[in-house]
Amino acid sequence: MVQLTLKLRVAPGSVPDMTHAFRAVMLAGQWHRGWVRAQAHSDLGDPDTLYYQEEWLTCEDAAREIRSARFCRLLELMEAAVEPPDLRFQFITEVRGLDYVAEVRGEQRPGTA
């Protein structure tokens, strides 16, 4: 899985318009192969900071999106930032849950023999 995270400081008063623009980018992405999810939200402590996140199944899916017209729109939104944006890609190779906790603690999960 590949996770894109973006932190963006915007001009005061522009949060509603930017949020609307992020929603349009998100909606367009959900129809693309390999899309997992996306979300956008503002920072309660700093109302002029927006966060955007996308998740893609594979590195190939993410790379295809980076080359897309939809991603160009995301780049345009980054250009509207009042400070350089913080854009990161995290490459997640494994996700585990309570099975990992039980393994590390040397315990058996309830309901397993």
Residue 19, φ and ψ in degrees, nearest 5: -60, -40
Whether 83 has a pLDDT exceeding 70, the answer reads yes
Domains assigned to the chain:
2-105 (3.30.70.100)
Relative orientation angle of helices 59-66 and 69-79, to the nearest 10 degrees: 70
- pLDDT higher than threshold 60 for residue 23: yes
Helix (H, G, I), strand (E, B) or coil at 10: coil
* 52 SS3 class: strand
Mean pLDDT of the chain: 91
As separate numbers, helices (DSSP H) first and strands (DSSP E) second, the chain gives 4, 4
Which pLDDT score is estimated for 113?
Answer: 53
Q: What is the pLDDT of residues 30-64, one digit of tens each?
A: 888 999 999 998 888 888 999 999 999 999 999 99
Written as one letter, the residue type at 108 is: Q
Can you tell me the mean pLDDT for 94-106?
90
Two tokens, residue 20: 């609307």
Model pLDDT, residue 49: 94
Q: CA-CA distances (angstroms) from residue 9 to 12, 25, 77?
A: 9, 18, 11
Mean pLDDT of 56-84: 95
Q: What is the pLDDT, as a whole number, of residue 47?
A: 87
Q: HSE-up of 111 (CA within 13 Å, CB side)? A: 2
Chain-centre distance for alpha carbon 6: 7
How many Å is the maximal CA-CA distance in the chain?
58
Does the structure show a pLDDT above 90 at 91?
A: yes
